[in-house]
Each structure stands twice: as structure tokens, then as C-alpha cells.
Structure 1
Amino acid sequence: MVLSGAAEPAGVDVTVTVAEIRSTKGVVRACMTTDAGKFPRCRGVAGAHSAVVPAKGSVTLTFTGVQPGRYAIALLHDENSNGKADRALGMMPKEGFGFSRDAKVQMGPPKFGDAVFEVGAAPVRQSIRMRYML
């Protein structure tokens, strides 16, 4: 017997605590995606989750209704609230950044596989340290 109109599972919460934010200027932008090819971007990615919260020394944000899967999170401390990652000399980030699993940066953002974590039936918590190059 096939049931039509069955509701999709509600999903779980993924709560992210961001530490070591150097100032209260601007906002913290968060992107959570399953798309390894687009990571660390979220804009225009189907099924991606994003959030923007005011910057302070430590912030906590929660993505709700997250379906099971493999996700990675990218953070930006957008200190001037211009909606983009500002760079010095065209390459080096001028603003803070961070990634799930505290993935390290080496000549560019980490690969999806370095930041990926599993979401299943239970809520997930991630702690990410904001990093600054300048």
C-alpha cells in the first residue's frame, strides 16, 4: 500500500557555537551545504542553509529542520557588512573565517571532505573558532 501526501521528516537542529570573534563590528555569516562542488559557497545552492547574526565575542546559531546527510559549514566575519569576503592583495582574507570540524586553511579554503560531518536523527553541535590572517 502506498500512502500519498506523507509529510517529509521534520529534520534536526544543527547548533554552531563560534568563538574568538575579534570585534563586535558587522555580522557573522554562516553557510551549511551538502554540495561538495560549491563549498564553501551557499548562494544559489539548492538545499543549503544560511544564517546571519550580529558579531560579538562568541555567537551561537542554529540551523533547524536539517535533513540527514553529509554537510560542511563555512563562516565569515563580515566586519563591514558588505555581504562578501574582503581580500588584501587579491588573495589574503582581511576578515575572519572558520569551517566545521575546525578544518585548516592552506592556500585557500579547505576541501569539503576536511570540513564534512554527518547529520542523522539526533541534533548536532559544532564548535568553530574564527580565524584571522590580518
Structure 2
Amino acid sequence: MLKGLRVNILLLAVLGNLAWSFSARANFNGKLSVEIDGLKNKEGQVCASVFASSEGFPSDRDRVLQKQCIKITATPLTITFENLKAGSYAVAVFHDQNNDRILNSNAFGIPKEGFGFSRNPEIRTGAPKFSEAAFLVAGPNTNIQIQLKYF
């Protein structure tokens, strides 16, 4: 009986430590570094938006979790986002050549400026779904690479 009690106590201690370590990891604030490559020139700036759900992805400014626009100083260019909780995110990026903070398009809705998405999904007739661009932030540092596309 004493041996069985020791095994149960040991098992509870191990399970308690596992549960604590998982919850401690889930409560971190992670950093996301987005490397943007494929810029066709250094004019203007690059704007990146982080979305935490499919609502509004990829262009609803009111649904963006975090966003930044930075002047192009080098290629590839890296934009860093701080304080992201563990979870699923998607990033939309565009090369804002005229500094108006809008992805300009022609009369047919085809972008005139470069753009890209996390996980670099294939672009067919429109923007990808959140699920096609989503990636997981599950540690203190997450690095992704986005290749810009131009039409």
C-alpha cells in the first residue's frame, strides 16, 4: 500500500510540473520577426499588419492586431512585432511606394504595388484565406519570411 501511495504521489508531482510548464509557456509574450524579400526598389516604405483571426484578414484596418510601416533601408527588410501571445496569426505586407499607406490597385482591382502574405500562399484570383497564411507563435521568438509579388 505504501508503495502504491508513493507511485501516486510521484505521478501527481510529474503531472503537476507538466501542467505548470505548459501554462507558463502559454503566458509568454513572444516576438515575431518578419523578413520581407523581393522588393523591386527602395522607394517608399513597407507596411505589415498582423491578424489574430480570419475576421478582416487581410485588409480591414479595424481588425488588425498590430501594424507597422517602415522606410526601406535595406533588402531584405525585417519588421519586428512584440508582445504576441501564443496562438495562430497571419501577416499581410505591401510595398507602399507612394507612402499613402494604401495598397493601390488599377481599375480592375489588380495591385499596382508589391504585396505578400505569411506562408507565401499561391495567389490566384484574390487574397488568400486566413487559414492559408496562418502560422503558430509558440515560443519567445518566431521568424517568418515573406516574398513580395508584383503584377
**TM-score, structure 1 as length reference:** 0.86
> Percent same amino acid among aligned pairs?
28
The structural deviation recorded for 1:45 is 2.0
Instruction: Tell me the alpha carbon deviations over residues 15-53 of structure 1, each in whole angstroms, 9 at most, x when there is no partner.
Output: 01001101111110000111202100252226x011111
- Aligned residue type for 2:81: F
Post-superposition, which runs of at least 4 consecutive aligned residues in structure 1 deviate over 4 A? none
The structural deviation recorded for 1:121 is 2.7
Q: Which has the higher strand share?
A: 1
Where structure 1 has 5 or more consecutive residues not aligned to the other structure, the ranges are 1-8
Distance 1:10 1:114 in 2: 25
- Aligned residue type for 1:60: T
Secondary structure of 1:113's counterpart equals: helix
Where structure 2 has 5 or more consecutive residues not aligned to the other structure, the ranges are 1-26
Secondary structure of 2:53's counterpart equals: coil
Say whether the 8 Å CA contact 1:17–1:60 is kept in structure 2: yes
Which structure has the larger Rg?
A: 2
Say whether the 8 Å CA contact 2:35–2:144 is kept in structure 1: yes
Distance 1:85 1:39 in 2: 14
Distance 1:57 1:132 in 2: 16
CA RMSD of aligned residues (A): 1.7
Distance 2:52 2:109 in 1: 26
Correspondences of 1:1-134 after superposition (within 5 Å): 9-41=27-59, 43-45=61-63, 48-55=65-72, 56-133=74-151
Q: Which moved further from structure 2: 61-70 or 36-45?
A: 36-45
Say whether the 8 Å CA contact 2:95–2:113 is kept in structure 1: yes
Say whether the 8 Å CA contact 1:15–1:60 is kept in structure 2: yes
Distance 2:125 2:141 in 1: 33
